[in-house]
Structure 1
Amino acid sequence: MSFVALGDSLTEGVGDPVGDGAWRGWAALLADGLAEEPVAFTNLAVSGSQTQDVLERQLPAGLALKPDLVSVVIGVNDTLRCTFDIQAVAARLDQVYAAFTEQGAVLLTACLPDPGTMLGLPGALAHPLARRQRAVNTVVHALSDRYGAVHLHAREGDWITDRALWSADRLHPGERGHRQLALRFHALLEEHGLATGPAPSPEPEFPAPTRSASLWWLATAGTGWVARRCTDLLPQLLTLAADEVRHRARGTSARLDLRASAAVSAALAALSVAEQPDAA
């Protein structure tokens, strides 16, 4: 059996260090429990990746490996860019999902919590990001259903609010969090008869970072990580926050939600229209 993982820093394993600057993460933990015999596992995920990176760089490499199982967990970095376009995100994910399923791979997907909530941002800043992540999650839900993916609802649950499961930056799980993700994916695959090996242990292999070590990481590498992904977003986010405050003062916040829902509906409708000639 072969397993290929595509995505960003979450799948790369950021937050689950194994020494010498290397990361392990949920996908590697899951790979160990997919079968009784060793699984050929390749992690193509790269920190900072967006859906365009997955489509243009990771997809060709993944298809060349002809995996039996492929995970595609991506989208958070798209929401942190001023260029965010849900129609473009939907079109890219559709191409990635289609390419792997046409090759015969089982597709593994997940919806994710929004970064504004995880970072504990004030409401006016958090709500626009939450709206974007809901849009991405809605698209992932719809396309996962279309392509028969094994889908994990990771945007909710106790694991989000349990600080013991998260690293200092609040955006990446720590080792315990990565193990929880691996366990939940394993349970889903086991239900579908696709995982026959032992489930990953929920207990950490390494001691948790000390508070001082976590704060040092956040003040150096962690802060830099957030800054690099949000630099071009900040001016737009402030504009979105001002718009949020204005609508809240007028009691018209629902219009923002309706506008976002309409954009998602249009993005999915565009995919359906694009597929019609092939179906005829």
Structure 2
Amino acid sequence: MTSTTSTTSSPTPPPPTEESDPYCLPRDRAAALLAGAPWRRFAVIGDSLSAGTGDPRPGYAAGGWADRVADVLRRIHPDLAYLNIAETGATTARTLEAQTGRLAAFRPDLVHVPCGANDLFRRDPDYALIERTMRRVYDAAAATGAQLTVFTLGWAFRVPAFADWDERIRTVNALTRNLARAYGAVLVDMWDHPVNDRPDLVSADGIHFARRARR
């Protein structure tokens, strides 16, 4: 008589949702952390990364990170005014030319500024020019009297067409960190964030973080 050994495979864990995701802050808790925040006029300028473009994910609410921030701030100040004029493909120069005038007219007290991502899609980026243009954007945003925010690019943001892509990211991230210090901007440093390790972090376009990354 031949004996057989049966093996039982472990059940596949369910995919994460907003409720189970350790990197996803519940709205009520976010509102509690921001209780007393003074901001009533929130503006976002820049490119698609500023706007929070990305593929949807099951189990996660729709909307980019900026819309989520506005939603939380409205729990504190229901009369919050929100302006998001970030454009897909906008370079820093485009942001300066086409968005800063509308930003000034809006009179914000909280502004998210871009981090130069689209300036890197040139054969030979001119980092001195990028820094000068970014500084002019920061000047225009700071002239409103608003608190500035910005984030660096994560290492999961990759463009294989450029062999020196990591070096490009590190260089523009260094510019962003220096400007954040100079202008007192709140810096969200995404370069080493553990969310970069997620296999499904990036959208189908290979560039933008998916909704599951929107924290």
**What is the TM-score when the length of structure 1 is the normalising length?**
0.56
Aligned to 1:84: 125
The match for 2:213 is 177
Cα deviation digits, residues 110-154 of structure 1 (max 9, x gap): 11125xx544738xx44x122122111111111110110111101
Q: Which has the larger radius of gyration?
A: 2
Structure 1 residues 48 and 120, CA gap change in structure 2 (3 angstroms): closer
Structure 1 residue matching 2:125: 3-state secondary structure: coil
Match of 1:150 among 186, 189, 194: 186
- Residue 32 of structure 1 and its aligned partner are, at CA, apart by 1.1
Query: In the alignment, does 2:198 pair up with 1:159?
Result: no
Q: Report the CA distance shift for 1:47/1:151 in structure 2 as closer, same or farther (over 3 A).
A: same
CA contact (8 A) 1:50 1:77 kept: yes
Which residue does the alignment assign to 2:32?
none
Aligned-residue RMSD, C-alpha: 2.2
How far has the Cα of 1:24 moved from its partner?
A: 3.0
Sequence identity, in percent? 34
In 2, distance between residues paired with 1:119 and 1:146?
28
Who is 2:51 aligned against? 12
Residue pair 1:16, 1:25 contacting (<8 A) in 2 also = no
1:215-238 CA-partner distances (Å, limit 9, x unpaired): xxxxxxxxxxxxxxxxxxxxxxxx
CA-CA distance at 1:168 after TM superposition: 1.8
How big is each residue's C-alpha offset from its partner over 1:247-280, in whole Å with a ceiling of 9 and x where there is no partner?
Answer: xxxxxxxxxxxxxxxxxxxxxxxxxxxxxxxxxx
**Shift in alpha-carbon separation, 1:103–1:120, aligned structure 2, 3 A:** closer
Query: Using a 3 Å threshold, how does the CA distance of structure 1 residues 41 and 17 change in structure 2: closer, same or farther?
Result: farther
- Alignment partners' CA distance in 2, 1:118 and 1:132: 11
Unmatched runs of 5 consecutive residues or more in structure 2: 1-39
**Greater helix proportion:** 1
Report if aligned partners of 2:159, 2:165 keep a CA contact under 8 Å in 1: no
Give the C-alpha shift of residue 16 in structure 1: 4.4
3-state DSSP of counterpart to 2:42: strand
Judge conservation of contact 1:10–1:25 (CA < 8 Å) in 2: no
- The one-letter code of the counterpart of 2:146 is A
Correspondence 1:135 to 2:171: yes
